[in-house]
Each structure stands twice: as C-alpha cells, then as structure tokens.
Structure 1
Amino acid sequence: MDTKKLRKELENRLKHPSRQFIFEREKDQLRIENIRTGQGITVELPGIVAKWHEQKDKAIDEVVYFVEEGLRAMGNSVSLTDNEQKIFPVIRSTSFPTTSKDDVTFVFDEHTAETRIYYALDLGNSYRLIDEQLLLEAAWSVERVREIALFNVRTLQVPLKEDEVAGNKFYFIRSNDGYDASRILNQSFLKEMEDRITGTMAVAVPHQDVLIIADIQNDTGYDVLAHMTMSFFASGRVPITALSFIYEAGELEPIFIMAKNKKK
C-alpha cells in the first residue's frame, strides 16, 4: 500500500454525488468536501499508510467511518446552548489550522511549544470544533467554553494500563473516547501521578487516542519512550507530536531525545 493506492481506495469508498475530492500533492493530503457547502474533512495519507501496514484494511475502515460520521455531523445544525456536558478540550499540534475552510476562526488556547488546545462539541460518533460562529450564535464567551471544557475533562475516568521496561514504568490511557490526549489537561490527575512517580516524570501525547506517562529511572527509559512515542505518532488517526515532555511543578517542557541514551 502506498499513498497513491490509498487515495484511490478512499475515493472509491467515499464517492457520492454531493462530494468532491481535492488532493494536495505537496502535503499528501486528501480532502473530502461537500460540493454545496464547502465543508469537508482532510486526511493525512502517509499516516494512514503507516497504520495500514500494521492493521491492514481495519485502518482504512476506520478512516472511512470517521469521514462519513464527520460529514454527516457537518450537515446537522448544532448549538452550544443546553449542551454544556458535551463540550471537551482536544489537543492538536501547533501546525493544525486555526481557521475552518470557511475562514472562521476556531476557539483555541496555546498549550506548549508543540501543542494547542482546541474545544469541541461532542456529537456522539464525531465532534465539531467550536469556532467563533458557534460562540456568536450562543452568545457565549471564550472563557465560558474553556471553563466548561476543563471541568468536563476532569470528570472523565482515567483507566491506567501499566508496563515496565528495564526498571522504567510506563502508564497508558487508551479509553478510545476521543479524549485520551485531552486528559493531559487534568491537573489533579497529573499531580496524583507526580506523587506516585519516584524517578523523572515524562508525558507524551503522540496522537489523539493515547496519553503516555513515564516514570524514568535511567537512560534506557528515555530511549524506550522515544521509540514508543514515534511508533504511536506514526500510527495515530490524529497525530499530535512525536516529542515527549518533562512534567515538573505543573509545567510541561518538551525534551529532545537524541541518538542513544542522550537527551537535551
């Protein structure tokens, strides 16, 4: 499977009289767009190809489902009013667009040098990023959205799976609810993990559906974390960053793990 074959497969499976496909060759991106409204979804082809080599057709099935649900949600009118419990933060890379295809600015906050916080209205099988138009229609402030979203993310369960490699412990949050990476914003949870960890605490959000917390005890731990984060980043449906962060006193600092057993 390569990006050319994948593009053809996606176009065949997502073909519909109301849609058009726009391929950006330089970025290796395919946009599936509603002809009438101009609304659409852009997918990164190389990331899907990498995932296909691990999961085969399941990777393509997942993308098709994601696009179909997303386009269906865009066709429905949505409102923030009376939907407070459905508002959550989502983590994205700093390269993620700050405006929609219609040039409406998304609501977002800066987070780290590698990540931003966007806000989403959960629609069940998909969600819509909150933009200034939705704020205007509901007569809401950005502060209200932020407070509600951060409260809601603290109410989510944090199921932990634990692994140990060469004396280093790794904790994984993978509930597949769309907000695993968002749990990095739950400061009380991070503080609990900091109290539990005996070495250096490192955190990673390689893609939307995983949060990794590491208890680093030696140099091997950094190497393992780097390989692990890169692997997740390459296979994620919504990649965020292949870099990890040191967590200390409530702050996240990106770390660059260079060559073997070296970090900067």
Structure 2
Amino acid sequence: MTMTSIKLKKILETRLSNPNYRTSYNREKDRFRIEWKQSKQGITITMPNVIAKYNERGEAAIEELIEHITEALRIMNETHHLIGMEKNIYPVIRSTSFPIETKSGKKLMYTDHTAETRVFYALDLGKSYRLIDEALLEKEEWSKDRLHEIALFNVRALPTKYKADRVVENDFYFIATQDGYDASRILNEAFLEEMKANSKGELAISVPHQDVLILADIQNQTGYDVLAQMTMKFFAEGRIPVTSLSFIYENKKLEPIFILAKNRPQKHKK
C-alpha cells in the first residue's frame, strides 16, 4: 500500500480512538497532533517522517509509533513521585543544545558536564522515562545535590559489559545494552579509572548518541582517525544524538578534542 498523509491520519485516528483524546491535523505543516482533552498535553507527529519509516519497515513502523504515542500519553497523565522511586532515578547525557525546558514551560533539572554535554535526570517508568523537572523536585522537597547523588549511585550499579574490537593495533570497547543509559556510563568514574589503568596508550571516550558508549585505547596516530570515523557514523545514526566529538580521559577529567586526520588531536576551545 502506498502511504499518504491522509491515509496515515485515518490509521492514527482509528488506532488511537479514545474519548479522552483530541486529535487534529495541520495540512499546511503536515503534522498530526494527539492530546489529552483536559490537560491539552500531547504529542505532535511529523507525517513525512513516519511515512519514510513506513516505506522502509512497513506495518512494524506504525506499530512502533502507536506504542510510543500510547506510552507517552500515559506518562503525561500520571502523577509521579521521587520518594519511593529512588532506585529508578538515572542520569542521562544530552548535548548542550538540548532544551532545558519542556514544551509546557517547566524547567528541567540538569548539571553541566563538559563543554559539549549536560547531565539531565530521568525517572525510569519501565518502557520509557520522564525527565525530572524543577516542579517535581520542589514538590518532593528534594535538593538538586540529592538528586545528582542518587542518580550517580544508580548508574554505578549498571553493568559495564562491553564488546571489544582491535583495529590497526588500537583497542576499542563498545557498551550498547539498549537500556537507555549506555552513554550515562561515562559518569561511572570507577569504571573509567579501571579502563584507564588497563590502557596501554591514551584513553579516549565518545558518546555519539544516547545508546552507546565507546572507549578507545589509542596506541598510535591512526587510532584517532578510526575513532573519529566511528564516532561520526554513530552520531549520524543515533536516535538521540549527543556529540560527534570525543574526549581524552586524563586525571579524572574529560577534555573535548577535535580529531584531525593524520594529526594528533587538538584540544577543543570555546
């Protein structure tokens, strides 16, 4: 079946039929919106993007979209608490260009990380998570320091099993568990120190997108080129891109670098 925006609109209206929802379609912008009638919180779908996925994957793309929409709407309509949910709080890595407010104007809690990245905080809800905002923190009477401490404690408890690959006498390690917090493991200082202690050369780290952490034991100049190509490829393919730059890990600090072909990396200055 050739998918069009009108056909997709009808499919979404049928599959998401609920007396508590309101749907609308903006023909000019080719966008479909579904929201809760009472709160007016909802999701806007860009139709051409969905059609492109449908052309690639067929009905599976529609099924996945419906699942994401249903889950997101469910979360929007729930009352969430931090007390009693401490084990479900995790840090998530985002780029510095990531919005620091929700579309409804709520300020998200975050901590600066590097010149390229920030740490936001997520309340894990099973199939998805909610980013923690200032209002939720105030309601629970929590401090930002407490939130940060709990999130770091939980990320340290996540497994750090990796796949290894050796390329041109350089060792590369990949963590991609698909648990939503792969990039977050860059905040596990004990793990980074262990990798640094066992590295033969310089330890470089990349977080091209949310669902992968790349560590590289760079033992020759070619290693930087290989890491640069890997990072850019992952960055381009990521569902939630973070940064195409890599970092040198030295003295418990992450230094963003530009990796230039056939040259030693140069420190990135802002």
TM-score for both structures, normalised by structure 2? 0.82
Change (3 A) 1:87 1:162: same
1:75 — aligned with what? 77
1:116 — aligned with what? 118
Change (3 A) 1:226 1:60: farther
Q: Cα offset for 1:126?
A: 0.4
- Does 2:205 match 1:196? no
- Which residue identity lines up with residue 86 of structure 2 in the other structure? E
1:220 — aligned with what? 222
RCO greater where, 1 or 2, for CA within 8 Å and sep 6 or more? 1
Change (3 A) 1:7 1:197: farther
Deviations 1:55-74 (A, max 9, x none): 74567765554443222212
- Aligned ranges 1:69-218 → 2 under 5 Å: 69-218=71-220
Q: Cα offset for 1:20?
A: 4.6
Change (3 A) 1:11 1:246: farther
Q: Cα offset for 1:101?
A: 1.2
Change (3 A) 1:81 1:194: same
Distance 2:191 2:166 in 1: 20
SS at match of 1:221: helix
Q: Cα offset for 1:32?
A: 5.1
Distance 2:236 2:250 in 1: 27
Change (3 A) 1:221 1:102: same
Q: Cα offset for 1:33?
A: 5.2
Q: Give the aligned CA root-mean-square deviation in angstroms.
A: 3.2
Q: Cα offset for 1:44?
A: 9.2
Is the CA contact (8 Å cut-off) linking 1:104 and 1:132 kept in structure 2? yes
Is the CA contact (8 Å cut-off) linking 1:39 and 1:101 kept in structure 2? no
TM-score for both structures, normalised by structure 1? 0.83
1:34 — aligned with what? 35
Change (3 A) 1:45 1:142: farther
- Which residue identity lines up with residue 79 of structure 2 in the other structure? S
SS at match of 2:107: coil
Q: Cα offset for 1:199?
A: 0.7
Q: Unaligned stretches of 5+ in structure 1?
A: none
Distance 2:96 2:83 in 1: 29
Is the CA contact (8 Å cut-off) linking 1:38 and 1:101 kept in structure 2? no
Structure 1 residue corresponding to 2:22, chosen from 4, 8, 18? 18
Deviations 1:36-88 (A, max 9, x none): 334345789999999x6xx7456776555444322221222111111101000
Is the CA contact (8 Å cut-off) linking 1:88 and 1:153 kept in structure 2? yes
Whichever of the two has the greater Rg, that structure is 2
Distance 2:246 2:48 in 1: 22
Distance 2:257 2:203 in 1: 12
Distance 1:47 1:88 in 2: 30
Is the CA contact (8 Å cut-off) linking 1:47 and 1:237 kept in structure 2? no
Distance 2:27 2:228 in 1: 32
Is the CA contact (8 Å cut-off) linking 1:168 and 1:216 kept in structure 2? yes
- Which residue identity lines up with residue 92 of structure 2 in the other structure? V
SS at match of 1:198: coil
Distance 2:120 2:91 in 1: 6
Deviations 1:5-56 (A, max 9, x none): 898897666544534567998xxx9785525334345789999999x6xx74
Identity %: 51
Q: Unaligned stretches of 5+ in structure 2?
A: none
